[in-house]
Amino acid sequence: MKKDLRASWPQALFTFFAPALLVLGIRWIVIEPFVVPSGSMIPTLLIHDHIFANKLAYGVHVPFEKKWLLHWSNPQRGDIAVFRYPETPDVFFVKRIVGIPGDSVAVENGILSVNGKKQEQTEAAVPAMSEGRFHYFNESGHLVRYLDRENSNYQALIVPEEMYFAMGDNRDQSSDSRVWGLIPEENFVGSVRRVWLACEKTLVSASFLCDPSTIRWNRILREVR
């Protein structure tokens, strides 16, 4: 007797493709993983911290495009956000938003000023992992780091509509809006609230995977702000 395979083929295809489609759907709409490649956000984010971008924070993009399919919220001052680098949209950056549309942003002797109001800074203890030549300050509930705060300046700029100003928390070692300009609203991918995995080194054969022998256990599931 011949076996009727007509009923089993759709089931087999569904079993094969459904998990892949589910993963792709979650990555497109809900969360997307990234690995921090540089030290521009030290001490908040370290090199090789693995983070998730919450893609529901601002809206949903058309697949594989910057255009919004649904858009219900905008980045706020203080958000740590993943966005497409304005000069090369295929590259993703992570920075802190310090200026939203209509804001006047300036830096004088290392101190950020928004709408003419200087952000209060108080000197902080040097983290155990830090090199001694850096100086740390508390600013609006998070730490920032400097090499030479007194020589860091940026002339006042008014942020236009649908544009945003971002800076790294590692203020003297960050290429950000002070260097390459403002971020268009459509470039935002999502906000970052937590490190889910961290390590000193990634695998040579796969730079997006941690070397298990160098995991920073104290940073796993660490909340960032």
Active site residues: 40, 95
Contact 134, 124 (CB under 8 A): no
CA-to-CA separations, 158 to 86, 181, 182, 195, 207, in angstroms, rounded:
18, 12, 10, 32, 39
d(CA 181, CA 95): 13
Beta bridge partners of 83: 93, 188
Tokens found for residue 77: 């001052």
Under 8 Å between Cβ of 114 and 105: yes
Number of alpha helices (DSSP H) and beta strands (DSSP E) in the chain: 2, 18
